[in-house]
Amino acid sequence: MKHYKPMLARSAEAPFSSDEWIFEVKWDGIRAISYVKDELSIRSRNQKELTHNFPELSELNDLTGDSVLDGEIIIMKDGKPDFQTLIQRMQNTRPGDISSMSGKFPANYIIFDILEKDGKELLDIPLMQRKRIMENAVNEGKFVVRSLFVEETGVDYYRAVLEKGLEGIMAKKKQSPYEPGKRSDNWLKIKQLMTCDCVIFGYTKGEGIREKTFGSLVLGLYDAAGPVFIGKVGTGFSQEDMEDLKRILDTYTVNEETLPGVDRDREITWLRPGVVCEVVYQSVTDDGKLRIPVFNRLREDKDPLDCTIEQIRPVRSDYDAKRDFTRTPEPPMSKEKSSGKSFVVQEHHARRLHYDLRLEKEGVLKSWAVPKGIPETSGDRRLAVQVEDHPLDYATFEGRIPEGQYGAGTVKIWDRGIYEPIAWGENKIEFIVQGEKLEGMYVLVKFKKAGEKNWLLFKGGD
């Protein structure tokens, strides 16, 4: 049986609203993928089997068949998720304790995605289609429910979630595939506080009242080359917390350095990377360190190798990621917001001549490359390939993109003006343009058979 790693989310700086995204509650629980096959298996992110710890979730066998589901296990107490009780239940191994705890503190499994149905992988199917498959394939029970979501109104939903005392929301792109093990820009977590799951690589020698415990924890995250030092945390502990934590950490001590680049203002006891903690912080400094970090809790459900640097590095747009702004004269992506309705068509002499159609929407220019130019005759259809969103400043850009850069070649404005959207859906966009050359109604229709990014652009009747 194939086992999947869960798709991971990046952090977003603030809530937003968009008709291209859905929004769900971000639950404070244990991520778990369920394999409802001949024998039920529920596995955590680090592949720990959880069916024995949460026997009540065996009702999954009666609610669906031959499917692989992604969701979050939570325990609710006083209207809020109780993470500590959840961890206690996950750690229980004695059958009597497991039975007793499942009666006193039953768990819920909130399902938000489906990865397989009847042996068929669904990873490449867009999220909204997977949601529809999941709704038809999985019934709800006493302990198993499907995640509710809203469309478009992310800002209002975020406020409502915080008023309920919950930690935040998840934003997910409607057209996103499921990307196992990847921390993707297509899923974003939006929380009131910035948090990071960090690996503890060591601790500094304690002084004064901390002489018998430690001074601070040495924290790191992984990038492609190995562990990266991101700072130390010395606050957020009670004395009892520190004593318990030191007993755990001392089972991981080693003689050699395990994290490069650590400032050694105090003696350090090094640890092999086996313990993960959640840290709350205010921001990230220019040199990549956590600013004002505070210890929050241990995360025994997290694998150290899953604690990657992408958690704290700012999300780069696809547009910025493709460009070196020390070489190209193109404008970088900005956070500017605008309610304008401008459009521009740029003639782009790249490797092959094509025309770029850009429509202003939600603070960016939604963009399509049109290889054979914009149709000017009613009924004439042209292929339009959707590309990454461009910044609003690109509407006035003209110049030469140097060799070796993405899109190298000359860009000049072919037409510009304003447009009025008539309808803007997932698969069809209708709009009226008033430009210096173009005028009238245009339609973009998704050309599904030719690929996810391919559309057909044609001019409507006069």
Q: Give pLDDT tens digits for 243-258.
A: 999 999 999 999 999 9
User: How confident is the model over 359-406, as pLDDT tens digits?
Assistant: 998 888 999 999 999 999 888 899 999 999 999 999 999 999 999 899
Q: What pLDDT score was predicted for residue 385?
A: 94
Instruction: Report the range out of 34-43, 77-86, 93-102, 159-168 with the highest average pLDDT.
Output: 34-43
Domains in the chain, start-ordered, CATH in brackets?
8-189 (3.30.470.30), 195-311 (2.40.50.140), 318-459 (no CATH)
Q: Tokens representing 96? A: 């009597």
Report the mean per-residue pLDDT for the chain: 91
pLDDT of residue 335 exceeding 60? no
Q: Tokens representing 70? A: 């992604």
Question: Which stretches does DSSP call E strand in 118-254?
Answer: 120-121, 144-146, 150-152, 168-173, 183-191, 194-204, 217-223, 226-233
Which of 393, 439, 435 has the alpha carbon at shortest distance from 416? 435
Q: What pLDDT score was predicted for residue 120?
A: 96
Count of helices and strands (H, E) across the chain: 7, 30
pLDDT of residue 242 exceeding 90? yes
Read off the pLDDT band of 14 (50, 70, 90): confident
Grouping H, G, I as helix, E, B as strand and the rest as coil, residue 91 is helix
pLDDT of residue 190 exceeding 60? yes
Q: Tokens representing 400? A: 């030469």
Whole-angstrom distance, CA of residue 3 vs CA of residue 49: 12
Q: Cβ(73)–Cβ(29) under 8 Å?
A: yes
Grouping H, G, I as helix, E, B as strand and the rest as coil, residue 193 is coil
Active site residue 26: yes
Read off the pLDDT band of 340 (50, 70, 90): confident
Q: Cβ(455)–Cβ(443) under 8 Å?
A: no
pLDDT of residue 12 exceeding 90? no
Grouping H, G, I as helix, E, B as strand and the rest as coil, residue 241 is helix
- The stretch 451-461 carries a mean pLDDT of 87
Q: What pLDDT score was predicted for residue 66?
A: 95
**Whose structure tokens read 């992310």?**
154
- The stretch 104-121 carries a mean pLDDT of 96
Q: Which residues contact 436 (CB under 8 A, 6 or more apart)?
A: 415, 416, 417
Q: What pLDDT score was predicted for residue 338?
A: 60
Q: Cβ(251)–Cβ(203) under 8 Å?
A: no
Read off the pLDDT band of 83 (50, 70, 90): confident
Give the CA distances from residue 263 to residues 32, 224, 228, 229, in Å, rounded to whole numbers and listed in that order. Answer: 37, 22, 13, 9
- The stretch 87-99 carries a mean pLDDT of 88
pLDDT of residue 92 exceeding 90? no
pLDDT of residue 318 exceeding 90? no
Q: When comparing pLDDT for 316 and 100, which is higher?
A: 100
Strand 183-191 with 8-11, pairing: parallel
Q: When comparing pLDDT for 15 and 54, which is higher?
A: 54
Cβ neighbours, 10 Å, residue 263: 11
Whole-angstrom distance, CA of residue 445 vs CA of residue 44: 41
- The stretch 187-212 carries a mean pLDDT of 92
Q: Cβ(24)–Cβ(169) under 8 Å?
A: yes
Read off the pLDDT band of 336 (50, 70, 90): low
pLDDT above 90 as % of the chain: 68
- The stretch 427-447 carries a mean pLDDT of 93
Exactly one of 2, 5, 26, 335 is catalytic; name it. 26
pLDDT above 70 as % of the chain: 97
